[in-house]
Amino acid sequence: MKVLVINAGSSSIKYQLFEMPQGTILARGMVERIGEARANLVHKYNGDVYAVEIDAPDHDTGMQVILKTLADNKVGVVKQISEIQAVGHRVVHGGEEFTGSVVIDDAVLKSIEHYADLAPLHNPPNLTGIRAAIHVLPDAVQAACFDTAFHTSIPQTAYIYGLPYEIYEKYRVRRYGFHGTSHRYVARRCAKLLGADKTQANIITCHLGNGCSITAVKAGKSVDTSMGLTPLEGLVMGTRCGDIDPAILFYLGEKGYTVQQLNTMCNKQSGLLGISGASNDMRNLLTLVEQGHDRAKLAVDIFCYRITKYIGAYTAVLGRLDAVVFTGGIGENNSFLRARICADQPQIGMVIDPARNTAKASNERLISSDDSRVKVFVIPTDEEAAIAADTCELAK
């Protein structure tokens, strides 16, 4: 079965075409700058890259270009579009309603639209991508895979905020958590590397990129996660502030800041960028640290400290910790930060093997020493593979 995985943004569509259930990637690519005067298509297939400027005034046109390219005589990987039997869509917010991936129907579309006010930057473009795919592939099974679904197992003690309970009842203000598809994928891969069933392992998964989150996984289920009602809570991130005293916002509001200014500041001007005043890219910051940049060093120190604090807290939540997983752009590629984070908490029992940690490799691997009480892994995340697997099962 050929399954097309779609991740639609406000002005882009990322795609991968899988042969399932083998999980073979036949092609992948992206349409960027949808709605602008000239859009771009980058299409990767059979080890080659095809890049071209295109006209894509809307997502419908972008999807048509993708399908035409996939079936092209020269750069395509299928003879005809009808070979694509199913399409899996990444959807950021599914609220409390969706505990797993589902086949899309009118009711699901309405629910995705309903939760748009909780994820205004993500759900509307996700919905646009779904409707475009339905329009150009009307006979394919369409599935929605929610970032929040893995975290619906979190107990009330972890997801209810210390606000009047009627705020939850009326507005469903609670911890939802995000990056769920990534956390689920790496937790299950980690259990296999441990030689255990997913229900037998307690794991802390650290998804560290421009957006960062940590999840406590107990017996295969998410029991707590650092992101909250929105992806703003938790760790210090590239441009997001993470945990702060909410009274800061009231204080700044009294100083004349508008709600929109505060929203922009917390989401786009804070985190590593705001602290350092230089960059939201960890690679740039580490270079600046070597050059003696004090605020870059402060940003890196705070970033590591916050991760250390969450790992310690989630170790207490789990009771028994079997493994810690690093994934995401920073988690997979930065050996220096991995070593530092693990060294900062010897009481937990994570001992990094320097050679394993610094080895140049892109595959999943153990980086802790043989005598480490808690195993530490680097596992590249593959949300698209997880979405393809869910979609294949639903299509069957």
For the segment 182-195, what is each residue's pLDDT rounded down to a tens digit?
Answer: 999 999 999 999 99
pLDDT bucket at 260, cuts 50 / 70 / 90:
very high
Assign residue 218 the CATH number of its domain: 3.30.420.40
Give the phi and the psi of residue 250 in degrees, each rounded to 5. -65, -45
Provide the domain count of the chain. 2
Relative orientation angle of helices 294-318 and 335-343, to the nearest 10 degrees:
60
pLDDT(344) > 90: no
Distance CA 336, CA 392 (A): 38
Q: Are 54 and 200 within one domain? A: no
Q: Are 130 and 231 within one domain? A: no
Residue 65 lies in a domain: yes
For position 361, what pLDDT does the model report?
Answer: 85
pTM, two decimal places? 0.92
**Which of 246, 243, 244, 295 has the alpha carbon at shortest distance from 273?**
295
Q: What is the DSSP string of 184-237?
A: HHHHHHHHHHTTS-GGG-EEEEEEESSSEEEEEEETTEEEEES--SSTTSSS--
Residue 245 lies in a domain: yes
Residue 160 lies in a domain: no
Residue 181 lies in a domain: no
Q: Are 248 and 365 within one domain? A: yes
For position 9, what pLDDT does the model report?
Answer: 86
Check 147, 224, 382, 390 and give the catalytic one.
147
Domain span holding position 69: 2-146
Residue percentage of the chain with pLDDT more than 90:
94
For position 117, what pLDDT does the model report?
Answer: 85
Count of CB atoms situated within 10 Å of the CB of 273? 20
Tell me, yes or no, if 147 is annotated catalytic: yes
Q: Are 67 and 201 within one domain? A: no
Q: Are 138 and 204 within one domain? A: no
Q: Are 76 and 210 within one domain? A: no
